[in-house]
Structure 1
Amino acid sequence: MANSETTLSKLLAEAKFNQECEELMSSLPKDRSFFAEYLYQYQGFWYPPNILEGVLYSQKHFKAKDSDFILVSSPKSGATWLKALVFALIHRQEFQTPLESHPLLDNNPHSLIPFIEGFNFHTQAASPRIFSTHIPLGSLPESVKDSSCKVVYCCRNPKDAFFSLWHFVKNLILKEMAGCTMEEMVSGFCRGSSVYGPFWDHALEYWKENRENPEKVLFVMYEEMREQPRDLVMRIAEFLGCSFTEEEIENGVLDDIIKLCSLENMSKLEVNGKGKLVNGMETKAFFRKGEIGGWGDTLTPFLAEEIDKTTEKKLIGSDFRFFC
């Protein structure tokens, strides 16, 4: 695995950045990272250089439309699953038999719904357009803030999000991870120095925006998706203005979508087991068990307590609580 031509470290190595990004990085706070040589702090959040360049590009060039849907999460907090569900429910009229012939059977969700910071948002032409992002609320392109586009934010318990990120990074940059202990990674995560971190600030920004502007931002929990998928998908559909009819529910359309998009089903598809994204990343890296409380298999009690202590501090003055 360490010699794989598709490791994330190889994708980042020798990357060239535009002059604007290079000049900005020279003036930003930076911190050593397991993910890239350095993370850079921009507008209060941390990014590796390639993602920072994408954020800058999106802020300058992305033009949101009122009819757009934007799917947001911190890394490893349900983005792949949320993309699949929203794509399937939005396009359900086009694909009447989703379990027999559907784009999700032959395409990874990340291939169907581009990241705003991924430079390829220009490929979306159909209306409504669906995009995804990990960009914090305050750093979103101004057109997203100024338009009437809808935003769905998916939040996950920080210990499970960290646990999933740990395995994701290990699979993609195993060679570099050899010198990074889990203790060091937890330390970086807790002080906020992780990709798109601080994790807690990211979630709280969107949660507060949901409280102040519920017509604009829907805030959902990953754990809801696992435990009550029918209720959650219907709530997302209603928020996006495409509620399920009673006839659709009676005919099994809702259940078909949930079955099609389940992590259990998607992880078995060949495209998600042996496929690659356009940047060379292997699609299997996006699929694990997705269990609630899976962190208990890896995190020691001491490290779990470190994350819990940080969570407690971050939530002081807020009545928001993560799913335990």
Structure 2
Amino acid sequence: MVTVQIQGSLVQFDLLWPIIRCEKHLKARDTDIILATLPKSGTTWLKALTFSIVNRSRYPLGENPLLTSNPHALIPFLERNIYRDSEKTLTWISFRIRELFRLTSIISCFRVLSQNLNAVSYIYIGTPWIYSFSLWDFKNLISTRGSMSLDEFLEAYCEGTHDYGPFWEHVLGYWNAHLENPDHVLFLKYEDLKKDINFNVKVIAGFIGYPFSLEEEKTGVIDKIVKLCSFDKLKSLEVNKVGSMDASLKNKYFFRKG
């Protein structure tokens, strides 16, 4: 796969113009919510949790669209979906223009978003070692050009020549943005989410303007959201067993352990 550098980050060549369009045309509103993660750092989990938090008064848990749709279908990527081509961009904007909030995600480095700090953005990042193995496994699953050995991938990872790398530059971009503007950039760690998911769900909800009421806490709404969005629950759903995002990207690939 041919890669090019933009804003100090390496990206696949076919994403160059979508990223440029995103950087040039994205006009964020103060009610927008943008999830920022590197690939395979818990993105699917974060999307499921955030969608459920925001939409809990709109859909009873038993009717949550997560039961019939993959989290990536419910929260599109800016560069991979919305700005992929002009037709998709116009369709998304016209569909969302009257909604109070727009919930999207991005993989690119923070510099792509730096002109839109009025948007609510947050990132959580996994342990580099865990992230590297997870991404290597995922890339080999979806590759049409044969598998890459672990040694080859780790060499590229350590040299910062992997997709959206260098890793630490990507992380530092969002970390520094959080330090400079903590009201608009929430920085979470994957390990902290795993350690105390209920507490961090409350943190996320409060940060994006959808705090839980005392009544919701007493009636176990947080517990129900956490259970619905758990790895085992999402993996067990029919849509994530047989569905697909496109011809080469099956939904089940997002729910492999490791």
Normalising by the residue count of structure 2, what TM-score does the alignment of the two structures yield?
Answer: 0.91
Q: How does 1:137-286 map to 2 (within 5 A)?
A: 137-140=110-113, 142=115, 144-145=116-117, 148-173=118-143, 175-177=145-147, 180-278=148-246, 280-286=248-254
Shift of 1:250: 0.9
Show CA shifts across 1:108-137 (max 9, x none): 011001111124255251321101001101
Show CA shifts across 1:180-216 (max 9, x none): 3211111111111111111111111111111121101
Task: Look up the SS of the partner of 1:138 in the other structure.
Answer: helix
Aligned counterpart, 1:49: 13
- Whether 1:107 and 2:62 are equivalent positions in the alignment is no
Shift of 1:168: 0.3
Rounded to whole Å, the distance in 2 between the matches of 1:197 and 1:107 is: 30
Which residue identity is paired with 1:218? L
Task: Look up the SS of the partner of 1:176 in the other structure.
Answer: coil
Rounded to whole Å, the distance in 1 between the matches of 2:222 and 2:205 is: 10
Task: Look up the SS of the partner of 1:76 in the other structure.
Answer: coil
Determine if contact 2:142/2:248 at 8 Å carries over to the other structure.
Answer: no
Name the larger-Rg structure. Answer: 1
Task: Look up the SS of the partner of 2:4 in the other structure.
Answer: strand
**Unaligned runs of at least 5 residues, structure 1:** 1-35, 295-324
**Unaligned runs of at least 5 residues, structure 2:** 83-88
Rounded to whole Å, the distance in 1 between the matches of 2:174 and 2:38 is: 11
Size of the alignment, in residue pairs? 247
Determine if contact 2:22/2:112 at 8 Å carries over to the other structure.
Answer: no
Rounded to whole Å, the distance in 2 between the matches of 1:141 and 1:54 is: 16
Task: Look up the SS of the partner of 1:195 in the other structure.
Answer: coil
Shift of 1:60: 2.4
Task: Look up the SS of the partner of 1:243 in the other structure.
Answer: coil
Instruction: Please tell me the root mean square deviation across aligned C-alpha atoms, in Å.
Output: 1.6
Task: Look up the SS of the partner of 1:218 in the other structure.
Answer: strand
Task: Look up the SS of the partner of 1:132 in the other structure.
Answer: strand
Determine if contact 1:136/1:196 at 8 Å carries over to the other structure.
Answer: yes
Determine if contact 1:275/1:283 at 8 Å carries over to the other structure.
Answer: yes
Determine if contact 1:55/1:117 at 8 Å carries over to the other structure.
Answer: yes
Show CA shifts across 1:17-65 (max 9, x none): xxxxxxxxxxxxxxxxxxx1x2111121101112222211212222211
State the identity as a percent.
Answer: 37
Shift of 1:223: 1.5
Determine if contact 1:62/1:141 at 8 Å carries over to the other structure.
Answer: no
